[in-house]
């Protein structure tokens, strides 16, 4: 009986060791929220992916999903180790998956990582304020988007006393910032939410113009979209990831969301504004992870 117990214990220990070894052998996976077209997001982060592979000495793969919630869920299930989130999706990943913000990109020509949410409308409609959009159709980006969901919701509520679903005659989510801008350009909606990064990029590419898509109003500055890792990753691995990202500009032209010059360190405390807005609006996780 003692021998059987010893063998059983040994078998269990071996199984656990093999499982741990298998988990450690898995490629490192970086998740990207679909703020823009998925192929564009993958292309933008490719130089950083290659840089991480070189510095970590391990394979780094990219994971995308059809919505923000998909990347959060993947991190929760430990299928994603590092991720690029917006501030709100980071807050949700913090709650759901123990995510920790560690770096954020600085745009070229700036010393700040902040950006702004904007509400846009077709220029020939002549709309100058949120109040003029009452009863009209609008497209936000995603419930878990900061500049395309949380902040424009906050702006509408502050201005009108109503949530977007009550204020607009027809309300929907476009799925990405690009799609929201194109919905305005094509006049399938009367207004949409976006941010100044995507708006500027689409202007530069000629996908929209200042004669088709006009900014109705803009928000206060938002903390930048962070790179995060799972809090339960080994400390040594987290330190290597952090060092690789924060020093990447010394070796490569860094890339990410927008035209970046470098990355700087941030922490959970830098996103308190987001937690406060969620609380003030009385939003629940079920409202944001649809």
How do residues 96-146 score in pLDDT, each as one tens digit? 999 999 999 999 988 899 999 999 999 999 999 999 999 999 999 999 999
Domain holding 230, by residue range, is: 2-112+224-270
Domain contains 141: yes
pLDDT(187) > 50: yes
Is 196:118 a contact under the CB 8 Å cutoff? yes
Same domain, 94 and 108: yes
Q: Looking at the domain assignment, is residue 18 inside a domain?
A: yes
> pLDDT for 2-45, tens place per residue?
444 444 444 444 444 344 444 445 799 999 998 888 888 899 99
Instruction: State the Cα–Cα distance between residues 154 and 163, nearest whole angstrom.
Output: 8
| CA gap 156, 187 in Å, rounded | 21
214 and 76 both lie in a single domain: no
- Same domain as 18, residue 105: yes
Please indicate, yes or no, if residue 96 is contained in any of the structural domains: yes
Sequence-ordered alpha helix ranges (H) in 101-163: 151-160
Residues 136 and 103 grouped into a single domain: no
| Residues contacting residue 1 through CB under 8 Å, at least 6 positions apart | none
Three-class DSSP labels, 49-87: HHHHHHHHCCCEEEEECCCHHHHHHHHHCCCCCEEECCH
Q: Which residues contact 286 (CB under 8 A, 6 or more apart)?
A: none
Does residue 123 belong to any structural domain of this protein? yes
Domain boundary among 175, 197, 218: 218
Cα–Cα dist 290/284, whole Å: 11
Count of domains forming the chain: 2
CA distance 221 to 116: 5
Which string of DSSP letters, residue by residue, matches 227-248? EEEETTS-HHHHHHHHHHHHTG
Calpha distance 155→168 (Å, rounded):
13
Q: What's the confidence (pLDDT) of residue 20?
A: 40
Instruction: Read off the CATH number of the domain in which 69 is found.
Output: 3.40.190.10
């Amino acid at each position: 009986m003692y021998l059987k117990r010893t063998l059983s214990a040994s078998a269990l220990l071996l199984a656990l060791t093999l499982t741990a070894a298998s988990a450690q052998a898995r490629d490192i996976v970086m998740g990207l929220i679909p703020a823009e077209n998925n192929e564009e997001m993958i292309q933008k982060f490719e130089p950083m992916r290659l840089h991480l592979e070189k510095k970590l000495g391990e394979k780094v793969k990219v994971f995308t999903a059809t919505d923000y919630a998909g990347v959060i869920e993947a991190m929760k299930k430990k299928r994603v180790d590092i991720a690029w989130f917006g501030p709100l999706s980071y807050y949700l990943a913090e709650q759901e998956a123990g995510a920790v913000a560690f770096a954020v990109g600085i745009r070229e020509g700036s010393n700040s990582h902040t950006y702004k949410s904007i509400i846009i409308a077709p220029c020939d409609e002549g709309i100058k304020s949120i109040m003029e959009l009452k009863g009209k159709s609008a497209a936000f980006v995603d419930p878990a988007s900061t500049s395309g969901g949380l902040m424009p919701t906050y702006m509408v509520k502050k201005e009108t006393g109503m949530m977007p679903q009550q204020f607009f005659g027809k309300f929907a989510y476009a799925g990405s910032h690009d799609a929201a801008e194109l919905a305005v350009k094509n006049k399938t909606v009367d207004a949409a939410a976006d941010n100044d990064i995507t708006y500027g990029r689409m202007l530069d590419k000629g996908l929209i113009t200042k004669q088709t898509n006009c900014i109705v109003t803009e928000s206060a500055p938002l903390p930048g979209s962070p790179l995060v890792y799972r809090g339960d990753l080994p400390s040594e691995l987290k330190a290597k990831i952090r060092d690789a990202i924060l020093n990447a500009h010394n070796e490569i032209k860094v890339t990410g969301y927008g035209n970046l010059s470098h990355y700087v360190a941030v922490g959970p405390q830098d996103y308190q504004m987001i937690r406060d807005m969620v609380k003030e609006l009385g939003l629940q996780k079920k409202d944001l992870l649809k």
